Amino acid sequence: MLKYSVNENDIKDWVEAAKEIKDHYDIDRALQYLIGEKFYEIVSAFHSSRKLLRIIDKEMRKADYKSIGIAIYRNLAVVTDVNQLYLEEAEIITNIAELLEEFAALINNVFEYSEIREYFKSNPCLGAASVEEYRYLVSRGMVHNSLDTEIRDALIWGDMMKYFAIE
């Protein structure tokens, strides 16, 4: 049984860290860390897994579909059982969805709805501590920024808001 590499203890630790950030700094930094970075990373992984599942599903519908895929990398042949990959990825999606529900519930238990709503309305950076950090990462080529990544982030943003019942 495959699991996403983040677990219940991780999310509890992140929520505790966010409480300390709030106490030592402010609510904006705490929610940026917790929602803008940690929650975002998990929703992003969820989106990536769903995209892979859609790609595999599309391939499976083709008349010439073969469940065993072979890719040559340098002098190595990498063999993939696409049917097994599909099943594993579907299980990962289920695990991540459950983890996101639990994570959102923990966040909602610690932070007020109004604080979370204001955080979302502030239009913060996703996956970075601040706008400055994000710009720095883009300028150094460490983060790719394109229309595709902006669209992807907008979709992730919409999903994130649903977990907190933000309209």
Whether 79 maps to a domain, the answer reads no
Whether 120 maps to a domain, the answer reads yes
Structure tokens at 75: 């002098």
Instruction: Indicate if the pLDDT at residue 167 is higher than 70.
Output: yes
Can you tell me the mean pLDDT for 30-50? 94
Whether 143 maps to a domain, the answer reads yes
* Contact criterion met (CB below 8 Å) for 21 and 33: yes
Whether 147 maps to a domain, the answer reads yes
Whether 74 maps to a domain, the answer reads no
* Contact criterion met (CB below 8 Å) for 160 and 37: no
Place 1 in a pLDDT band, splitting at 50, 70 and 90: very low
What is the number of domains present in the chain?
A: 1
Whether 113 maps to a domain, the answer reads yes
Burial 107-146 (b: 16+ CB within 10 A, else e): beebbeeeebeebbeeebbbbbeeeeebeebeeeeeeeee
Task: Quick: pLDDT tens for 59-87.
Answer: 889 999 888 888 888 888 888 888 998 99
- H or E element: which one contains 126? none
* Contact criterion met (CB below 8 Å) for 82 and 69: yes
Place 4 in a pLDDT band, splitting at 50, 70 and 90: low
- Cα–Cα dist 13/132, whole Å: 26
Can you tell me the mean pLDDT for 22-47? 94
Instruction: Indicate if the pLDDT at residue 138 is higher than 80.
Output: no
**80 in helix, strand or coil?**
strand
Burial 62-101 (b: 16+ CB within 10 A, else e): eeeeeeeeeeeeeeeeeeeeeeeebeebbebbebbeebbe
Whether 151 maps to a domain, the answer reads yes
Whether 61 maps to a domain, the answer reads no
Sign of CA dihedral 109, 111, 117, 119: negative
Domain that residue 33 falls in: 8-53+96-162
pLDDT in the model for residue 2: 45
Task: Quick: pLDDT tens for 86-126.
Answer: 999 999 999 999 999 999 999 999 999 999 999 999 988 77
- H or E element: which one contains 51? helix 40-60
